[in-house]
Amino acid sequence: MDPTEIVNSLATPEGRADPYPLYAALHETGEAVQIGSGDVIVIGYDAINAVLRDPEFRVSDQSVFDRMPGWQANAVLVQGADWILNLNAPRHSRIRSLIARAFTARRIAGMRPAIEAMADKLLDTIADAGADGSSVEFMHDFAYLLPVNVICELIGIPERDREAFRPVARDLAAVFELHDAATLPAINAAAIELLAYFTALARQRRAAPRDDLLSDLLAISDSGDGRLSDAELLHNLTLLLVAGFETTTNLLGNGLQIILADPPAGDAVRDGSVSAPAFVEEVLRFDSPVQLTSRIGYDTVLADVPVSAHTEVITLLGAGNRDPRRFASPGRFDALRADGGPLSFGGGAHFCIGAALARLEGSVAFPRLLNRFPKISAAGEPTRRDTLVLRGFDELPIAVA
Ligand code: HEM
């Protein structure tokens, strides 16, 4: 099959539902292929790694927005122009290193008791709702609520505000699905609402700092040497929120679906023969919550394919994770595999800043869920979200009694 046809199939509902046979077909065409539009699609594990670790491959930044007349009228682009995800060196390094200072390993590890408590509370609700054998919706009742509560807790968003937050954050997360202009008004409205909220919260934390990420970031920003402006700080808070929760929601949903389809995979976590972190790592590889990211090329040759400064380079993380040159039997879920190392958090300068937090959430959630509900099973057909970049479920009905 022609690579362009395969890539076009990826954009169809069937391709989005199950991209893996298409990835397998692409692997047979090479590590990277140029398709009809001129874009280069990178499929091989090593080639993806090379692109992400090479600073000459740049992310789309404001200079790309500048080609769209009137982009400043879109709040999400104004904020997005400051997101570290959309910045190149040296601005990227400056802002990322400041954010990383408030995002320490200690702070993340210190979140464990709070994550455990939040997970247990959600499991209590599921136990009540499912006690009589009725079906419970895992995506809504757990996979969605845990990460959004965790990210709110980390930033320092009070519990009473979180309920109102979730739908807004979800609207904003639609920005990751590249091509749907119809969603732009809702995305902009969400961006405006979140920014207004963070601006007000920052005012409160400035007056009375607490032990949270927002207070830490404000202290860095207020140190007076102009290293982090208020706008940069506030805009990147909205990024943390959107980057941090739907991705982790999908990790939880994709992992549970693997267990429902293959109960021994869950038994192994329950009886401890597979550690929770090893299980999470294999879920990330097997069914990556983020399937792709992209870069702008430069004059070079990538796995025998010429690339120029005008080439959009799309790295298929989900395909790299199934590269037969890198992983033995890539289509087999095997949490004990020795050849781990998924590309699901990216690589290089933009490597996911929340990877440790997401791993922690998964490692806390799966054993608790499985031990609490030894009889957990599917209670109907799951429905996938019809999305290409973020891969996950809309609904995953389960029975727990
Ligand atoms: C399973 C969950 C997650 C997955 C699969 C994931 C995936 C990714 C990937 C692939 C990138 C790199 C994108 C690129 O190179 O273009 C990234 C970047 C990022 N992620 Fe995550 N992420 C997850 C959870 C989180 C969490 C929990 C947070 C925040 C608390 C977060 C915040 C970010 C930020 C801020 C960036 C941008 C980093 C930069 O550009 O320097 N992510 N993530």
Question: What are the average pLDDT values for consecutive 10-residue runs of the chain, which has 401 residues?
Answer: 92 93 96 94 98 97 92 94 97 93 89 98 98 96 94 92 84 74 86 95 96 92 78 94 90 98 97 98 98 97 96 98 97 95 98 97 98 97 91 97 93
Q: Which residue has the tokens 């982009």?
A: 71
Residue nearest to atom 16 of ligand 1 (CA): 293
Residue nearest to atom 41 of ligand 1 (CA): 350
Regarding the beta carbon of 358 and ligand 1, being less than 6 Å apart is answered yes
What pLDDT score does 181 carry? 73
Give the pTM: 0.96
List strands edge to edge, sheet with 377-378.
136-137, 397-399, 377-378
What pLDDT score does 225 carry? 66
Q: Which residues pair with 307 in a beta bridge?
A: 300
> Of the residues 99, 212, 344, 352, which should be mutated to test ligand 1's pocket, given the most ligand atoms within 8 Å of the CB?
352
The closest of 194, 218, 179, 211 to 16, measured between CA atoms, is 179
What pLDDT score does 226 carry? 61
**Sign, CA torsion 362/363/367/372:** negative
Report in angstroms the alpha-carbon separations of 317 from 11, 52, 147, 207, 354: 16, 10, 22, 43, 17
Looking from the CA of residue 236, the nearest atom of ligand 1 is 35
> Of the residues 107, 172, 247, 389, which should be mutated to test ligand 1's pocket, given the most ligand atoms within 8 Å of the CB?
247
